[in-house]
Amino acid sequence: MLDIIIYSVCIIGLIIAAITDIKTREVPDWLNFSLIAAGIGLNLLFTVILHDYKYIINSIAGFLAFFIIALIMFYTGQWGGGDSKIIMGLGALVGLDLSFKGRVLIDFLINSLIIGAAYGLVWSSVLTVRKWKGVLKEVRKICRSKKVKASKKVLFLIILILIMFIIFQKDPIIKFFLLGMLVLSIITFYLWIYIKAVEKSAMLKLVAPHKLTEGDWIAKDIVVDKKRICGPKDLGISKPQIKELIALYRKKKVKNVLIKEGLPFVPSFLIAFIITLFIGNILLLLLA
């Protein structure tokens, strides 16, 4: 019964977050903080009613574990601020079972990575179909760059080394593993080129400063009177920076800002959570 309450709150929260993420490319703070508060509040209530400290302890452990994961994913540029905060809320709600008898949170994390990767590829494919000319042009441009030409030489060297190992390796299992590494190296390299091409041709957008929202990813440094206002290294624009840009816009010193539109990633969390509850750990099922 308690699990049904917790999981219902999670799914309702994720549905609302997914809808807002698709529509506005952001998840409102009130929703994220409400999930965190609901997680700690409900588990504290369960602790008081059932006289069992495991609920609040697991809730805090889940929040802290997902807080660390969210920080890593945010500062490596994998997730936006809204994605990171909603994960903390789920951690607080579901809780991390320190006895390791329950694996819901761990299974959800693994499923999120798998579903997230598949979801990202599907979304990128849709963008490619819609703007295939721009993507193709960008692929050619990236392939001609000095960085990629140098990377191709390194990749060629890696392929040669792996082929040599495969030829002289007698163990069929190791040979199969090395062959897998060879194929994966090639796929990863060209997948990186493809993703960069999609990003540059279909995910960059010029917007006026007053249309910016906190956390938007700035694609190019904005420098006014030799002063840097914001840029890609900021990992999302802040409210003071937006105010400064609006002031500069009114003075006609800044016209538009180039931003990178991220994928609406929360729907992948919703899919991963539902799969976790009704199917289980995808990785374990694939390995089985």
pLDDT digits (tens, 9 = 90+) for 116-156: 888 888 888 888 888 888 888 888 888 888 888 888 888 89
Beta bridge partners of 206: 258
Q: Are 267 and 274 in contact (CB under 8 A)?
A: no
Predicted confidence (pLDDT) per residue in 116-127, tens digit: 888 888 888 888
Q: Are 17 and 264 in contact (CB under 8 A)?
A: no
pLDDT band for 101, please (50, 70, 90 cuts). low
- CA neighbor of 43 nearest in space, from 34, 33, 52: 52
- Is 218 strand, coil or helix? strand
So what's the pLDDT on residue 16? 95
Q: Which residue has the tokens 């010193």?
A: 253
Q: What is the mean pLDDT of residues 256-266?
A: 82
So what's the pLDDT on residue 208? 87
Asked whether the CA dihedral 84, 85, 91, 94 is positive or negative, the reply is: negative
- Indicate the average pLDDT of the chain: 86
Q: Are 2 and 46 in contact (CB under 8 A)?
A: yes
pLDDT band for 99, please (50, 70, 90 cuts). low
What is d(CA 114, CA 118) in angstroms, rounded to the nearest whole number?
A: 6
For residues 106 and 78, the model is more confident at 106
So what's the pLDDT on residue 61? 93
What is d(CA 87, CA 91) in angstroms, rounded to the nearest whole number?
A: 6
| Highest mean pLDDT (candidates 7-16, 93-102, 194-203) | 7-16
pTM for the model stands at: 0.74
